[in-house]
Chains A and B, each alone.
Chain A
Amino acid sequence: MSNVPVSTVHAASACATCPMYNGAQLTKLGINMTDWDYIIALAGNPNTGKSTVFNALTGLRQHTGNWPGKTVVRAEGGFLYDEKRYKLVDLPGTYSLLSTSADEEVARDFILFGQPSVTVVVVDATRLERNLNLALQVLEITDRVVIALNLMDEAKRHGIEVDERHLARELGVPVVPMAARQGEGIQDLLKAIAEVASGAYVTRPRRINHRDPQLEGVVGQLVRQVEYAFPGLPNARWVALRLLDGDESIERAVADGTLGQLAQTQAPQPKPAIRLELETANYGD
């Protein structure tokens, strides 16, 4: 942050589209990733511009296209920003992390067990209400989240204004307005990612408070059992809630011990362990 030139902080929109501005501290590494400091997951509804953001950051040209299910498995790329190396994982577009499609399982397992340093949720500013469903679900799993409020250019054309500061306050995480296709907001996104990854920005994610003592009692009981069976599991509360909801894939993962394997191999933070798992884990078959 300290070495960000003052002029870029207050950049007008004309500056924000200039390649000089966007290129200030960003080096696109493409698929050249030998080692990295942080892993960033890119999640979002289908058709919100995730792959466009991915390409803008990595310099890759991963299939962007206007049809659902395009990014079937994870696409990976890297970039260098402010002397830190980032590995970026583009997850399949999903409306939810709670249903049963293979796409949703890939995205959910990565956010839950891949333990990315930051999860960027790309949301469509023109369909915010619908997109926040996924954003809130991600906030239930992890607190290291940045919201990329994409398609702001389209929203403006439709006469939609989004109060991003209010949204950031409500969600408790940074919200970055963007028009990724035009390259607008990339620099701000990088800054927000770097701040959350390094811990300089402490998020306070909005969590759903069930306010039901009976439910909370049952959840607490189940959490203790899950923690006992799978020590070191990153988010036992989330797993307990899924079990209560009758989530079959989570039930299976508990029954056959897959959950424990995922938690064990990925729980410790050292980089090589995470990397190994990323390459060997067989997500959603």
Chain B
Amino acid sequence: MTSTSFTLDRLPVGVVARIASLTMTGAERRRMMDLGLLPGAAIEVALENPLGDPTAYRVRGAVIALRREQAQQIQIALEETRRPDAQAAA
């Protein structure tokens, strides 16, 4: 299973990715983790913003809006093998 990794702000609409790591630190990192943004969690774009920022993401059944600077500090991985659960969730 090959995977490509990049940051959350570059996740295309309709694609489900998995969080690989958070690169922010301190209280902001804690806050993200409390909101369910943890390594391994599936994440996708829920609502696109016509102004580009912030964007709403769906993670663990919740919709969370993140600014681009925040999304840039979240590393995600796309699994290139076709996973049935990723397809179904999209």
Query: A residues within 8 Å of B by Cβ?
Result: 95-96, 98-100, 126-127, 129-130, 133, 246
Contacts and interface: CB of A to CB of B under 8 A. Distances in A.
Contacts of B52: none
A99 B34 CA distance: 8
Given A95-B35, A99-B31, A100-B27, 5 more contacts: A127-B61, A127-B62, A130-B36, A130-B61, A133-B34
B68 interface: no
Given A95-B34, A99-B31, A133-B34, A127 B60 contact: yes
B30 interface: yes
Interface string B42-60: 0000000000000000001
A129 B36 contact: yes
8 contacts: A96-B30, A98-B34, A100-B27, A127-B61, A129-B61, A130-B35, A130-B36, A133-B34
Nearest to B36: A130
B84 interface: no
A260 B27 CA distance: 25
Contacts of A133: 34, 36
B31 A246 contact: no
A130 B26 CA distance: 21
Contacts of B60: 127, 129-130
B26 to A, nearest CB: 7
Contacts of B62: 127, 130
A111 B12 CA distance: 42
A246 B34 contact: no
